[in-house]
Amino acid sequence: MPQVLSLGELLVEMMRPAVDQPLDEPGQFVGPFPSGAPAIFVDAVARLGMSCGFIGVVGDDPFGRCVTRRLEADGVDMCHVRVVSHRTTGIAFVSYRSDGSRQFLFHLPESAAALLSPEDVHEDYLRGVRALHVTGSALSVSESSREACYRAIDLCKQYGAMVSFDPNIRPELLGVNVVRTLCEPVLQSCDILLPSGAEAAMLTGDADEDTACRALVARGVPIVVLKRGARGCVVFTEQGRVEIPAYRVTEIDPTGAGDAFAGGFVVALLRGMSVTEAARFASAIGALAVTRQGPMEGLPTLAEVQTFMNSVQE
């Protein structure tokens, strides 16, 4: 039985190979790369040597096999991933801009990923789980996917598992009020919240990211980790605020770095590290994740993380 579980969308990414190649003009793509926020998270966990599983839906097509084959090879239990013939696997097209921003075009609401439902969440599979990870993207892809996440949270809390939440929903697509409504049931149950500054502000209405994170702790979230990319991260708990600097690396592809960070943070806590130690460990994983093109291609093994952290200390 897996110790860590995630659920939600499985997809592939097709990327422009160079910056400033817009999606609305003919040009080359590289890929497919296995992707999906909850899938990147669980692959990071598997690469670090912790037993984990995934619940989701893919199409019976080459892209579906691309994703499932990668996760299985890295050690993710895929027994609860359903394969359907009447929907295709999700796709994201990505282009990079010279100012560091990205443009995404998603095929998700009509993809196989949107078919995830509460019936896919089997109670027996969750009994031994120690940690469940939920993403905002899985809440927003469809109503049935959202209800599957809520069911998984309820069951895992009954069995004493901790719940981590990355609220990666785009408010410009749904509206802030809708996003808050979707996230509220998760916020009431989560033990670890991993927002960006914009996401923390969106959830609370506070323009200042520090104020927003303190407000989230005050409302009952035990651990809030503010992800700030190249500026590192800040951990907020009832005991106060701790700032963790980022590791300096050459960035090739930032996609998935936050999901990799989340996977490292959860693994570190389950292995008995303090919250501050977990944040440093997760920062190393997030840094290594951006050094190769493709959301999962830079995910390190435990030995690679330890070597990297030791080299920096030296």
- Note the Cα 52 to chain centre separation in Å: 14
* Single-letter amino acid code for the residue at 157: K
Rounded CA-CA distance 234/12 in Å is 31
Distance of CA 287 to the CA centre of its chain: 15
Is 259 catalytic? The answer is yes
Peptide bond into 32 cis (omega under 30): yes
Catalytic residue (choose from 74, 120, 253, 259): 259
Query: 76, 54 in Cβ contact below 8 A?
Result: yes
User: Residue 85 phi/psi, 5° resolution?
Assistant: -100, -15
Q: Residue 10 burial (CB < 10 Å; 0-12/13-18/19+)?
A: buried
What's the CA gap between 310 and 314, in Å, rounded?
Answer: 6
What amino acid positions are annotated as catalytic residues? 259
